[in-house]
Chain A
Amino acid sequence: MHHRYDVLVVGAGGAGLMAALYAAKGNVSVACISKLYPTRSHTGAAQGGVGAALGNVQEDHWEWHMFDTIKGGDYLTDQDAAEIFSKDVIEAVYELEHMGLPFSRTEEGKIAQRKFGGHTREFGKAAVERSCYAKDRTGHMILQTLYQQNVKAGTTFYNEFHVTDLIIEDGRCRGVVAYDLSTGEIHTYHAKAVILAAGGYGRIFKITSNALTLTGDLMSIYYRKGLPLEDMEFYQFHPTGLSKLGILVTEGIRGEGGILRNSTGERFMERYAPTIKDLAPRDIVSRSIITEIREGRGVGRDGDAINLDLTHLPRETIEQKLAEITDLARTYLGLDPIKDLVPIQPTAHYAMGGIPTDVNGLCLSDGHGGSIEGLYAAGEQACVSLHGANRLGTNSLGDLIVFGRRAGIYAAQYARQVDYGTMPENPEAESNDMLNRMKNASGTDNAALIRKELQETMMNNVGIFRNGPDMEKQVGIVNELKARYKNVKVSDPSQRYNSELMEAMELGFMLDCAEAMTASALNRTESRGAHDREDYGERDDANWLKHTMAYKDLNNDNNVLIGYKDVSLKGYTRAFEPKPRVY
Chain B
Amino acid sequence: MFVPGNNPGMMQDAFIYGPDSIMLDLEDSVTMAEKDTARLLVHNALKTIDYGKTEMVVRINPLSTPYGKKDVEAVVKAGVHVIRMPKTETAEEVKELEQEIIKIETELGCVGRTQIMAAIESTLGVINAYAIATASKRMMGIALGAEDYCANLKAQRTSGDSPNFGMELLMARQTIVTAARAAGIDALDTVFSNLNDMDTFKREVEMIKAMGFDGKSIINPRQIEVVNEVFAPKEKDIQKALTILAAIKEAEQRGSGVIAVNGKMVDRPVVIRAQRTIDLAIASGIINKEDI
Whether chain B is bound by chain A comes out as no
A-side interface residues toward B, CB under 8 Å? none
